[in-house]
Structure 1
Amino acid sequence: MGVSETVAKPLDRLAATLGDDMAAVNTLIRDRMASRHAPRIPEVTAHLVEAGGKRLRPLLTLAAARMLGYEGPYHVHLAATVEFIHTATLLHDDVVDESSQRRGRPTANLLWDNKSSVLVGDYLFSRSFQLMVETGNLRVLDILANASATISEGEVLQLTAAQDLATDEAIYLQVVRGKTAALFSAATEVGGVIAGAPEAQVKALYAYGDALGIAFQIVDDLLDYTGTAETIGKNVGDDFRERKLTLPVIKAVAKASAEERAFWVRTIEKGDQQDGDLAQAMAIMNRHAALEAARADALDWAAKARDALAPLPDNALRGMLSDLAGFVVARVA
Structure 2
Amino acid sequence: MGAVTSLAKENKPTGSVKPIVDLTAADMERVNKLILSKAGSDVEMIPEVANHLISSGGKRLRPMLTLATASMFGYRGDYHVYLATSVEFMHTATLLHDDVVDESDMRRGKSSARMIWGNQASVLVGDFLLGQAFRMMVETGSMEALKVLSNAAAVIAEGEVLQLSVAKKMETTEADYIAVISGKTAELFAAAAEVGPIIAGAPEAERKALRDYGMALGLAFQLVDDVLDYGGSSADLGKNVGDDFREGKVTMPIILAHQRGNEDEKAFWRKAIEDGENDDAALEKARRLIARHNALSDSISRALSYGEAARAALAPLPMSAGRHALEEVIDYCIARIS
In structure 1, distance between residues paired with 2:158 and 2:308: 27
CA contact (8 A) 1:186 1:209 kept: yes
Q: TM-score, normalised by structure 2?
A: 0.94
Task: Describe how 1:1-333 pairs up with structure 2 within 5 A.
Answer: 10-36=16-42, 38-332=43-337
What's the C-alpha RMSD, in Å, of the aligned pairs? 1.3
CA contact (8 A) 2:185 2:222 kept: yes
Give the total of aligned pairs. 326
In structure 2, distance between residues paired with 1:274 and 1:88: 30
CA contact (8 A) 2:14 2:335 kept: no
In structure 1, distance between residues paired with 2:74 and 2:16: 21
Q: TM-score, normalised by structure 1?
A: 0.96
In structure 2, distance between residues paired with 1:35 and 1:211: 36
Q: CA deviation at 1:12?
A: 2.4
Q: CA deviation at 1:8?
A: 9.2
Percent identity, aligned pairs only? Answer: 52
Structure 2: give runs of 5+ residues left out of the alignment.
1-12
The DSSP-based 3-state class of the residue aligned with 2:17 is helix
CA contact (8 A) 2:233 2:241 kept: yes
Q: CA deviation at 1:274?
A: 3.9
In structure 2, distance between residues paired with 1:9 and 1:275: 34
Is 11-20 or 43-52 further displaced after alignment? 11-20
In structure 2, distance between residues paired with 1:87 and 1:67: 26
In structure 1, distance between residues paired with 2:73 and 2:307: 22
CA contact (8 A) 2:253 2:296 kept: yes
Q: CA deviation at 1:273?
A: 2.7
In structure 2, distance between residues paired with 1:206 and 1:248: 27
Higher relative contact order structure (alpha carbons within 8 Å, sequence separation ≥ 6):
2
Alpha-carbon displacement from aligned partner over 1:62-110 (angstroms, at most 9, x marks no partner): 0000011111110000000000000000000000111111111110000
The DSSP-based 3-state class of the residue aligned with 1:18 is helix
CA contact (8 A) 1:162 1:246 kept: no
